[in-house]
Amino acid sequence: MHQGSALDMPFADASFDVAWMQNVGMNIADKRKLYGECHRVLKRDGRFAFQEMVSGKAVASYFPLPWAAQAADNLLVSSDEMRALLADSGFIVDYFEDVSDAPLPLPAIGTPEGLPQAPLSLSVYVDNLAQKAENATRSVQEGQIRLFRGVFRAK
């Protein structure tokens, strides 16, 4: 395990065949630098795989969310902007898909209203998890945020 910044990774250029990120970029304002660092540490033809929330067609209006207590903390970009930033950073798309409406990959515990809630183990790390998960679910259902998965190749 290494501790460091995603914007200044403590690794040499072309160190890895694969980089993987899950729900990280949504917390980082300088996505251009983030994707540039991911590209820098990958070997040519290395793969960058991720799962990230992106902004939807409407502005997010339900807060707090798991990554943003208020609107000013919400650092999401659109899927088009994400794809363009990745291309500008030297990546070629292999897979990029909206999976917002796919079944949850982890077992979830339903709320009384029937909305899915994040697994209980996350509640140790996230305050007000039930409310944040409900707001995120509602935001996805109303198209305010979307969940994307992607695999991009370093050129």
DSSP one-letter code for 12: -
For the chain, the helix, strand and coil percentages under 3-state DSSP, each to the nearest 5: 30, 30, 40
Distance of alpha carbon 111 from alpha carbon 86, whole angstroms:
37
State the pLDDT at residue 127. Answer: 83
- What is the architecture of the domain spanning 16-154? 3-Layer(aba) Sandwich (3.40)
State the pLDDT at residue 70. Answer: 95
Could you tell me which of 44, 48, 45, 46 has the C-alpha nearest to residue 20?
48
What residue segments make up the domains of the chain, in order of their start?
16-154
Distance of alpha carbon 90 from alpha carbon 155, whole angstroms:
6
pLDDT digit of tens for each residue in the chain (155 aa)? Answer: 889 999 999 999 999 999 999 999 999 999 999 999 999 999 999 999 999 999 999 999 999 999 999 999 999 999 999 999 999 999 999 999 999 988 755 444 444 455 455 555 566 667 888 899 899 999 999 999 999 999 999 99
Could you tell me which of 57, 54, 30 has the C-alpha nearest to residue 136?
54
The Cα-based distances of 121 to 8, 87, 118, 134 in angstroms read 30, 36, 8, 16
The Cα-based distances of 90 to 19, 82, 112, 115 in angstroms read 14, 13, 46, 39
Distance of alpha carbon 141 from alpha carbon 70, whole angstroms:
19
Distance of alpha carbon 55 from alpha carbon 149, whole angstroms:
14
This prediction has a pTM of 0.84
State the pLDDT at residue 128. Answer: 86
State the pLDDT at residue 130. Answer: 86
φ/ψ (deg, to 5) at 100? -60, -35
| Beta carbons of 29 and 5 less than 8 angstroms apart | no
